[in-house]
Structure 1
Amino acid sequence: MKKAIFIFIVCNIVAFFIILSTAIDTSKENSIEVSGTVKSIYEGGVKDVVFELENHKTSYYINRGFENGFEMAKAKKDFEEKKVTLFYAKSWTPLAPFGTTCKHITRLSVNDSVVFSEW
């Protein structure tokens, strides 16, 4: 009986980590559009560029953006207090089963000019 419980627990732990390690689908078909004025930009996670929009409870991030060409001073100048349109990936994780407060940006544009895209 103890061996069966142990195997059950190990299988659940393995399944949990497989779900966590699944890549985010960043395709256009799996993205949701949002528009708003950028309130602030800061670094979060591991070199992620995080955008906060006015009147939004959710933050949005470009994964490892500061490793891939974004610079803080330029990003603040280019985006803060400007209206942007962004798309974020629909995703689910067992660590936040009811949604997260920070979403993965798949495309970002300012004045109809695409600044970043994973498509």
Structure 2
Amino acid sequence: MGMKRIIVFVVLVLGVVFAALVALTYRNTEIPRSECVLAKGIVSDISTGGVNDIVFELESKQHVFYINRGVEHGFDVEALEKQLLAEEVTIYYADGWTPFAPFGSKAKHIREIRNGNWIVYSEF
């Protein structure tokens, strides 16, 4: 009977830890604009990556920025290239810690991207 209780306890603890890690991961998508990091730069490349993500690279930036599942939101790389390649954009991104990238990540989740007054994409 004692061993059965230990196994149930371990399974419950692991379940709670897993749920907490998942919750911390999804927190990045709920960060308001006031808590986001701002990046400005010239778009040097636009591609697809991840799971239907649209990925932007900016000149002189170490990070890449992505619209999560951007293809599913109706974005097309060729159309975006015609509109934004070699243009200056402003990006607000979530820069929070996640358990799946504990030492940071080169890829940053775009919460909003603008070209001048045109809001290309926003989660706000």
User: For the superposition of Structure 1 and Structure 2, which TM-score range results when normalised by the shorter chain?
Assistant: 0.7 to 0.9
Query: What is the number of equivalent residue pairs in this alignment?
Result: 119
TM-score (norm 1): 0.84
1:7-45 per-residue CA deviation (whole Å, 9 max, x = no partner) reads: 457624641443234422232122111000111011111
CA distance in 2, matches of 1:51, 1:58: 9
Look up the SS of the partner of 1:96 in the other structure: coil
- What is the TM-score when the length of structure 2 is the normalising length? 0.81
> Which residue number in structure 1 is paired with residue 13 of structure 2?
11
| Residue 80 of structure 1, CA deviation | 1.2
Residues 43-54 of structure 1 mapped to structure 2, 5 A cutoff: 43-54=48-59
Aligned to 1:29, the other structure's residue is in SS state: helix
Q: Which has the higher helix share?
A: 2
Deviations 1:79-115 (A, max 9, x none): 1111100100132112221211101101111123211
Moved more, 3-12 or 102-111: 3-12
1:90 to 73, 95, 98: 95
Q: What is the root-mean-square deviation of aligned Cα atoms in Å? A: 2.1
Identity %: 34
SS in structure 2 opposite 1:66?
helix
Unaligned 5+ runs, structure 2: none
Aligned to 2:80: 75
